[in-house]
Chains A and B, each alone.
Chain A
Amino acid sequence: MTHRLKPNGRRVVPLLIFALLALVPAATAIGADAFVLSLVTRIMIFGLAAMALDLLLGYGAMISFGHAAYVGIGAYSVGILSSSGIDDVFVQIAVAFAASGLFALVTGAISLRTKGAYFIMITLAFGQMLFFLASSLAAFGGDDGMTLPSRSLVFGAPILKNTVVLYYAAFICLLGFYALCRAIVASRFGRVLRGIRENLVRMEAIGFAPYPYKLAAYVIAGMIASVAGVLLANQAEFVSPAYAGWQRSAELIFMVVLGGVGSLHGAIIGAALFVLLAEYLSRLTEYWPMIFGPLLILVVIFARGGIAGLLKAWR
C-alpha cells in the first residue's frame, strides 16, 4: 500500500487534509456538534495565515515575527469599510490586498536590509507599530475594537451569515491559496527562492540578486495573510487590535513549526493542533498554558520537522 503510494506520497497528506475538511459540514449535518464547524473554520483561517508565513519561513528562510500584522490589516479592511457602508466582500479583499501589499512592500524593503536576528526583531517592530496604530484608531473602537454591523456581502447577498457558507468560503480560500503557493514554490521564482535559502553565495555567483525575490515573496505572504484577516473578522464579527499583537505572531510561528516548516500543508496541520489543543486543554484547567508551554518545548527539542516531518518519516 505504502509502496504504491510512494510516487505520489507528497500529495497524499494534503489530499487527505482537504478531503477531511470538505466533509466536516456533512458530519455536523448528521449530528456532530455544530460547534465543530466554528472551530474548524477558525482552524482554516489560522491555517491560511500560517501557510502564508510558511512561504517565508520554509522557502525564503525569512523569520517574520510580525506576520499577525497582515491578519490585522485584513480584519481592519473589513471593519473600516463595512462601518462606512461598503459591505461587498470582493471590494474588502481588494482593499486588504492593496493595504497589506503596500505595507509589506514598504516594511519589507527596509527589513530585508537586515539579516538574522535583526530581521526577526525589525519585523516585530513593524508589527507592533501597526498594533499601536490600530489601538489609536478611536473612530474604529481604539483599544476596544469594534463590532461589525454584519458579515460581508457576496454579490449583494448576505450568504456568509450562514455558518456552512462561511465554512466553505474559508475552505475555498484555503484550497485556492494552497494551490497558488504550491505553484509559486514549484515555479522558477520558487526555485530561485529556495536556492537563495540553501546557498546564497552560489546563487549570487550565478547571477541572481536575492533582494527582489525575497521582497516579492514577502509581499505575497503578506497579501495572503490579509485574506485570513478578512475571514477572521467575518467569523468573529468583531475586529480588534489584538489580532495584530506580537503574541499572535508567535502563535503563527508555532503553528508552522509544529506542523513542519517548508511543507505548506504542515501549517494547516499545525493550526489544527494549535486551535484544538488550546480549546481542549483550556477546558481542562485554567492553567492550561502550563501544559501547552512544555509541549511546545518538547516539540522543538524532540520533533524536528514537526508533524509533517513525522508523517514523512513514517511513510
Chain B
Amino acid sequence: MDELIMLRYGELSTKGKNKRDFINLLGCNVKHALKKFSNLTYDIKYDHIYIHLNGEKYDDVSKRLLDVSGIYSFSKVYRLPIDLDVLKQEALKLALAENKKTFKVHTKRPNKSFPIHSEEINRLIAGEILRNSDYKVDVHNPELMINITVREDYIYLFTDETLAAGGYPLGSGGKSLMMLSGGIDSPVAAYLMMKRGIKIECIHFASPPYTNEAVITKIKDLLKKLTAYQKEIKLFIVPFTKLQEEIYHHVNISYAITIMRRMMYRIASRVAGKRKDLVIANGESLGQVASQTLKSISVIEKVSTLPVIRPLAIFDKVDIIKIARKIDTYDISIRPYEDCCTIFEVKNPTTAPNEEKAIEYEQLFDFEKLIDDCVNNLEVLTITDEDEDDLL
C-alpha cells in the first residue's frame, strides 16, 4: 500500500482547452514548493496530481501545499491494488485508527469493468467495519467519511479533504508590476495577486538620503517571504530623490502628495511598458490616507497608461493585517523606517484634488526629464528563495 497526496483542481476545471497547460504549470509550481522533500515523486494526471510520499511526513508536506495557488483541496490517500479483500482490510484499519463513533462509506467507480457496483462496495466495506468495531453508520452526519475510488489500475482510499488556497496556478494570468512601499498593505496585495495566478515584479521608490538604506533591507526581507509563492521576484528601485525635491520646491504643499503619486504612476507605467507587464498593482485601500480617497485616486490614476489593480481596495485594515500575519510579513512591515511618502511633512494634504490644478502645478517644472532619469537609472535586484552564502 502506498501513501499519496491527491490534489484537486479548483476553477481550473472550467478552463476548457487551456486546462492541460494549467495543469502542467501547477505541476511545476507544486514541485517547486515541495523541492526540499527529496523523496517525493509525482504523477500529474488530467483529473488530479498524485504525490507519492515515499516516507516523507504528510503533515510537513501538506503545510507547504497550502501556499500553492491553483489547488482547490487535497487529501491523504492510500493506493491499493484492485483487490476487495485488501480494500476491506485497509478500510477497517483506517477506521480503527480514527477515534470516532459514526461513519459512512462513499464509493465512486470510474472503472466500469470492475464487476461490483458502488452501492455493493459501500455495503461490503460498511459491513466489515460494523462487524469489527463499535462504529455505527450515520449517512447524514457521519464523523468519519470513508471515500473509495475504483480506477483502472488502483483503488484509492481516503477520509477527509483539506481546503487549500484556491485561485489559479502562478504564471497562468500573466505578469504585473507591483508598487511596494514597505508597509503592511502592499505585500498582502502582492500575495493576493499571486494567489490569483499573476506573477509579480516590484517597483520601489527610494529617496536617499531622506530614506534609509534599511528600508531596502526591509523590502528585500518582505520579498523573501513572498518567494514562498513565486521563487524569483525582480525588484526595481527608482532613484526618486531629485524628482521628489523638485515637487516640494515647485508645488503647493497641499498638492505635493497628489503630484508625487502621479509621478509614481507615470514612472511605473514606463517601467511596466518596458517589462511587458500587463497591469500595475498596489496595496491601496479606499479611504486609508489622503491619496486613497476616490477623488484622489481618480485624479492620480489618470496619468497611468495601464490598468491599475487594487486587490485591497475594499478591505478593512484589520482584515489586511490578518492576511499579513498569515503570510508572515506583518512583523517586517512594522519595522519603523521611513519611506518616501513620509519624509516630507505635509500637514494638510488635499483629499479632493482637482485635475486641472494638478496639471497646472506640474507645468511649473520639467518633470519629463526627471522621469527619464528615474527610468534610466533603475537599480535592479533579484530576490530568490535561495539563502545560500559561501560563508554559511
A binds B: no
Query: Which residues does B use to contact A, with CB under 8 Å?
Result: none
Which residues of A come within 8 Å of B, CB atoms? Answer: none
